[in-house]
Amino acid sequence: PLWLVPPLFCLWINTHGSWSIGLIVFAIIIASGMIEGSWGKITAVRWPPAHLRKLLITFLASVAVLFVNPYGYRLVSYPFDMAFHQKLNISHVAEWVSVNFHDVRGKVALILIIALLLGALLKGRQWKLHELGLVLFGLYCGLTYIRFLMLAGILAAPLLSKFIDSVPPYRREIDKPVLNAAIILSVLAFMACGSPSVSELQKSIGESYPTRVLPFLRSHPPDGPTLNFYLWGGYLGWEDRSFKCFIDSRVDIFEYAGVLKDYLDLLGLKKPEAILSKYRIRYVLFPLDEPLTFVLTRDPDWKLIYKDKVCVMFKREEGMGSAGN
């Protein structure tokens, strides 16, 4: 029932920013039914006037309820702000990079594209215009930004299922419940055995995050601004509520304030002393293999106060360098 769609968008905008994708999908379906014709294997059938009217009313109602949120128009405009103004966020955060066909996700995406091409070539069925629009939209999003590969799979799944409709239909008389149950139990057992234990998860976290430095931070709390590694900000803030992060994964906040640009400049060693002085940084908690770590290790103004297999921590004494003035 179409009346369920506006409440869905009201819930959607209050829980996740991908609501705008839902509107685009809805618009593709409506627009494809406003055209009629046939172009090779592509066909379009016009919506009956009554159906089109209901769809347009539902679409407009879905747009209207987007403003039912604690932030009003600002939350509605946020996806556009991110797309057009948060350039550093889009260009530097890993989930916004394009697909790399040399890794596992890229190979799965390539298999999806090949399956669609083979289905179009080997099957004699017609493509409906909205199917083509949704698949092209999903592939564009998924290949351009890796975080949308899931969306590409969702939009392509209905079409792929039609390409494999040659699978024989289900026949109850030849079903084997005992064998089916055994297979299901075997899969569940495999999943249970393959699930990592708590100790294994903690070990994995310890290989990438500064777990060992936490006791040191609690016993020697920083008494000045601390520059932390970007990927560690959320972890440190969660594990030690008294630790004041310089930056974490809420990238938009830091881009608005100019902090993200300064942080990226620090990573690239663009006037690091000036930036450290600008924020009066007294401590630096960074990975071992970062260029900034290499520089501070050889800077007499900075003293190494902690080191383990994952991170190092430096301290600048009062009165040393311009940051202490």
pLDDT in tens, 231-254: 999 999 999 888 999 999 888 899
More confident position, 94 or 47: 47
Asked if residue 282 lies in contact with residue 225, where contact means CB atoms within 8 angstroms, the answer is yes
Q: Quick check: 124 pLDDT over 80?
A: no
Q: Which of 46-55, 162-171, 308-317 has the lowest mean pLDDT?
A: 162-171
How far apart, in Å, are the Cα atoms of 105 and each of 48, 66, 172, 322?
A: 41, 33, 37, 47
For residues 109 and 44, what is the distance between their CA atoms, to the nearest angstrom?
27
Tell me what the mean pLDDT of segment 89-93 comes to: 88
pLDDT-derived band at 126 (thresholds 50, 70, 90) equals confident
pLDDT of 166: 66
- Please state, in angstroms and rounded to a whole number, the distance separating the CA atoms of residues 196 and 50: 55
Q: CA neighbours within 13 Å on the CB side: how many for 19?
A: 27
- The string of pLDDT tens digits covering residues 1-37 is 899 999 999 999 999 989 999 999 999 999 999 999 9
Average pLDDT over residues 138-150: 93
> What distance in Å separates the CA atoms of residue 243 and residue 209, rounded to the nearest whole number?
15
pLDDT number for residue 322: 47
Residue with tokens 């799965």: 108
Q: Is the pLDDT of residue 60 over 70?
A: yes
